[in-house]
Amino acid sequence: MSIRSHLSPDGDTLNIYVGERFDFSVHQAFRAAYDQPNLPRLRIRVNLRDTRYMDSSALGMLLVLRERAGGERADITLSGVTPGIFQVLSISRFELLFKIE
């Protein structure tokens, strides 16, 4: 599966790993990855290290995650961002909404 997730041992951080393609074909798996009752209290790390393709539906999925995680109060980091994915995020001004590493 191209989306996996797990809680950190201390239960404070939800780690979501995205595969090579981040597009509409993974929307159900991505939603399931953050289906946590205490989501607004968690730090969230979306690992994009293996992601080579991201489309506008992926951007929308990240925005829905942010809203469900508390909107402006959400603590979400997009990590492992490659130059190509960074370009997509930058054009969309996502550095204003997420921490990007």
Contact between 49 and 22 under an 8 Å Cβ cutoff? The reply is no
Contact between 69 and 42 under an 8 Å Cβ cutoff? The reply is yes
Q: Which band of pLDDT confidence, cut at 50, 70 and 90, is reported for residue 70?
A: very high
In the chain, what are the domains? Answer: 3-100 (3.30.750.24)
Q: Per-residue pLDDT averaged across 24-45, rounded?
A: 95
Largest Cα–Cα distance of the chain, in whole Å?
A: 35
CA angle, 93 as apex, 97 and 39 as ends, to 5°? 25
Q: What is the mean pLDDT of the chain?
A: 96
Q: Per-residue pLDDT averaged across 49-64, rounded?
A: 97
> What dihedral angle (degrees, nearest 10) is formed by the CA atoms of 69, 75, 76, 77?
-170
* In the chain, % of residues over pLDDT 70: 99
Q: Kindly tell me if the per-residue pLDDT of 1 is higher than 70.
A: no
